[in-house]
């Protein structure tokens, strides 16, 4: 319609007139009341995020590295505090190295079995478990969103692909975009014109192979109007080719161009233009294009405050423990670090390390173990005390069952001597007597001793002894 002005068929053209170099030679234009440019709109394809290492997508590489460093540092601080006072944090150097990693990473699933003893360790663990809970919850939520929500990708992103593939493309009827497409080496037979947003949507839904088009080129304001009506299934793609904007056209030399330009500038400086755009084009960003895995990844900045709190807490706990340890053990190490051969500072450092690696026998765990070893008579005493109690029980059992104490190793010698004796002698020595006969014999002997204790028994025994002695005397001739 701008050509009507030089033909003197119109004094002005008011509307969405694109300002171009060719048109500025035929009429005077006002200041642009909106930014312009032209691009293309294409159909979108729904894709589900997949891949071999897709589980790494929820976190950026920087966040993965910082998380790994935080796990290792926290495990190291816990080991430093618990090494001297907790037997679960001791062992060979390789075992202790494994404890640092195992204890730190097992907190991811709250499966750490080692119990901490120090209050400093407990304080740090409270903060660290809270940080791990937030990190794992955020990772799970982000991964679930990526796996369940489809991400929408444009079917075409490069204009050159349309030219090389020979796809049909559309444009607005009567727009200068047609000439721009011809300059970009599009085949004129592959260009199709449309007039309404409904025609855009119908052509894009059919596709180039189905009688429609693969993309529609138009000015950005018109594309915004189209997307505000057909949000689902379409999106802007490719570069935005800049333009001078939209304005009003007047006859050359008309003073109206200057007055209208002044009014347009006053309108764009306020909020009125923003309200007009929201009314006709909708709220910017209201058309959701799905989830992009690259944009949905959690960054280090999202957790910078959490890692800062954890790092400060771990550092303060470590410094508090080292200061306390050095002050408390300074007298123990001073003697071991006396000047001698080699550097004094190196000897002192080695002395500190050697002293640190020793057990703190004043710790409750080690003090309790030492108390058990010193009191075998208590419940759960030493093995020597339990063996001695077992031996006494066996002796008592033998005495109850057989009427005498349990045989000692020295009885083997007496049994060997008994072999050389005759059966009658062995019969008299009670070797072949049953336990009942032995008890009866012992009872009879005890009764005889009681009877011999009386005066009459003693006198009769003395008379019998004298008689036996007289029998042993030789007979006189």
Among the ranges given (25-29, 70-74, 306-310), the one the predictor scored with the smallest mean pLDDT? 25-29
Token pair 């007039």 in the structure block, residue: 195
Nearest to 399 by CA among 363, 435, 440, 364: 435
pLDDT score of 241: 83
What is the predicted pLDDT for the residue at 312? Answer: 95
**pLDDT tens per residue across span 121-140:** 899 999 999 999 999 999 99
Sign of CA dihedral 236, 212, 150, 288: positive
Biggest CA–CA distance in the chain, Å, is: 196
Backbone angles phi, psi at 113, to 5 degrees: -95, -25
- 294 — pLDDT class (breaks 50, 70, 90): low
pLDDT at residue 363 tops 90: no
Token pair listed for 395: 């002796």
**How far separated are the first and last CA of the chain, in Å rounded?**
185
pTM for this model (two decimals): 0.48
Give the fold, CATH level 3, of 37-48+155-242: D-Maltodextrin-Binding Protein; domain 2 (3.40.190)
Q: What is the pLDDT of residue 468?
A: 52
The whole-number pLDDT of residue 425 equals: 46
Query: Where, residue-wise, is CATH 3.40.190.10 in the chain?
Result: 37-48+155-242
pLDDT in tens, 146-183: 877 666 678 788 888 888 888 999 998 888 888 888 98
Give the number of C-alpha atoms closer than 13 A to the C-alpha of residue 120, restricted to the C-beta side: 22
Mean pLDDT of 326-338: 67
Q: Is 442 helix (H, G, I), strand (E, B) or coil?
A: helix
Helices (H), 289-382: 293-296, 304-328, 330-334, 344-357, 364-374
Q: What is the mean pLDDT of residues 333-345?
A: 56
| Sign of the dihedral through C-alpha 125, 126, 131, 132 | positive
Q: Provide the token pair at 82.
A: 């618990």
* Whether 228 contacts 281, CB under 8 Å: yes
Inter-residue contact 82 to 106 (CB < 8 Å): no
The alpha-helical segments, DSSP class H, found in 149-285 are 159-165, 177-183, 197-206, 220-229, 256-269, 272-281
Please tell me the predicted confidence (pLDDT) of residue 392.
43
At residue 275, the pLDDT reads: 80
- The number of C-alpha atoms within 13 Å of 55 and in the hemisphere containing its C-beta is 3
> What's the rounded Cα separation, in Å, for the pair 59 and 270?
41
Distance CA 118, CA 83 (A): 10
Cα–Cα distances (Å) from 2 to 14, 178, 201, 207, 255, in that order, read 10, 17, 29, 34, 18
Q: For CA atoms 355, 356, 359, 364, give the dihedral sign.
A: positive
pLDDT range class, residue 360, cuts 50, 70, 90: low
Residue 75: both structure tokens together: 């495990």
Lowest mean pLDDT among 248-262, 273-287, 456-470: 456-470
- Position 61 scores a pLDDT of 92
53-81, pLDDT tens digit by residue?
888 888 999 999 999 999 999 989 998 88
Q: Which two tokens stand for residue 419?
A: 């072999």
Asked if residues 75 and 101 have their Cβ atoms less than 8 Å apart, the reply is: yes
Which is higher by pLDDT, 126 or 105? 126
């Amino acid at each position: 319609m701008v050509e009507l002005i030089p033909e003197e068929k119109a004094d002005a053209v008011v509307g969405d007139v694109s300002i171009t170099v060719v048109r500025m030679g035929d009429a005077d234009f006002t200041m642009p009341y909106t930014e312009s440019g032209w691009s293309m709109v294409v159909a979108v394809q729904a894709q589900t995020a997949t891949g071999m290492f897709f589980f790494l997508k929820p976190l950026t590489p920087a966040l993965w590295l910082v998380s790994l460093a935080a796990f290792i540092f926290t495990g190291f601080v816990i080991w430093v505090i618990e090494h001297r006072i907790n037997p679960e944090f001791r062992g060979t150097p390789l075992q202790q190295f494994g404890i640092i990693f195992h204890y730190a990473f097992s907190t991811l699933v709250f499966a750490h079995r080692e119990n901490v003893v120090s209050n400093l360790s407990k304080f740090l663990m409270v903060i660290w478990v809270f940080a791990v809970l937030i990190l794992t919850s955020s990772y799970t939520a982000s991964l679930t969103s990526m796996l369940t929500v489809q991400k929408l990708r444009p079917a075409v992103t490069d204009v050159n692909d349309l030219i090389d593939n020979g796809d049909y493309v559309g444009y607005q009827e009567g727009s200068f975009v047609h000439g721009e497409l011809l300059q970009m080496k599009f085949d004129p037979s592959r260009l199709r014109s449309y007039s309404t947003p409904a025609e855009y949507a119908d052509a894009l839904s059919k596709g180039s192979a189905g009688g429609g088009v693969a993309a529609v080129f138009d000015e950005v304001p018109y594309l915004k109007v189209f997307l505000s009506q057909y949000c689902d299934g379409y999106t802007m793609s490719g570069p935005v080719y800049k333009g001078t904007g939209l304005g009003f056209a007047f006859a050359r030399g008309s003073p109206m161009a200057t007055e209208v330009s002044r009014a347009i500038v006053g309108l764009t400086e306020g909020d009125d233009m923003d309200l007009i755009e929201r009314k006709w084009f909708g709220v910017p960003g209201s058309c959701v294009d799905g989830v992009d895995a690259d944009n949905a990844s959690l960054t280090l900045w999202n957790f910078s405050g959490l890692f800062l709190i954890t790092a400060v807490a771990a550092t303060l706990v470590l410094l508090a423990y080292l200061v306390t340890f050095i002050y408390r053990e300074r007298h123990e190490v001073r003697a071991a670090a006396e000047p001698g051969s080699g550097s004094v500072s190196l000897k002192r450092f080695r002395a500190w390390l050697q002293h640190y690696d020793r057990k703190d026998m004043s710790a409750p765990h080690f003090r309790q173990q030492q108390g058990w070893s010193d009191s075998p008579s208590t419940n759960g005493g030493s093995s020597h005390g339990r063996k001695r109690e077992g031996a006494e029980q066996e002796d008592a059992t033998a005495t109850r069952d057989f009427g005498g104490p349990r045989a000692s190793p020295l009885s083997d010698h007496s049994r060997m001597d008994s072999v050389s004796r005759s059966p009658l002698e062995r019969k008299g020595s009670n070797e072949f007597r049953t336990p009942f006969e032995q008890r009866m014999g012992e009872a009879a002997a005890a009764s005889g001793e009681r009877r011999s204790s009386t005066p009459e028994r003693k006198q009769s025994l003395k008379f019998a002894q004298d008689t036996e002695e007289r029998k042993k005397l030789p007979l006189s001739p």
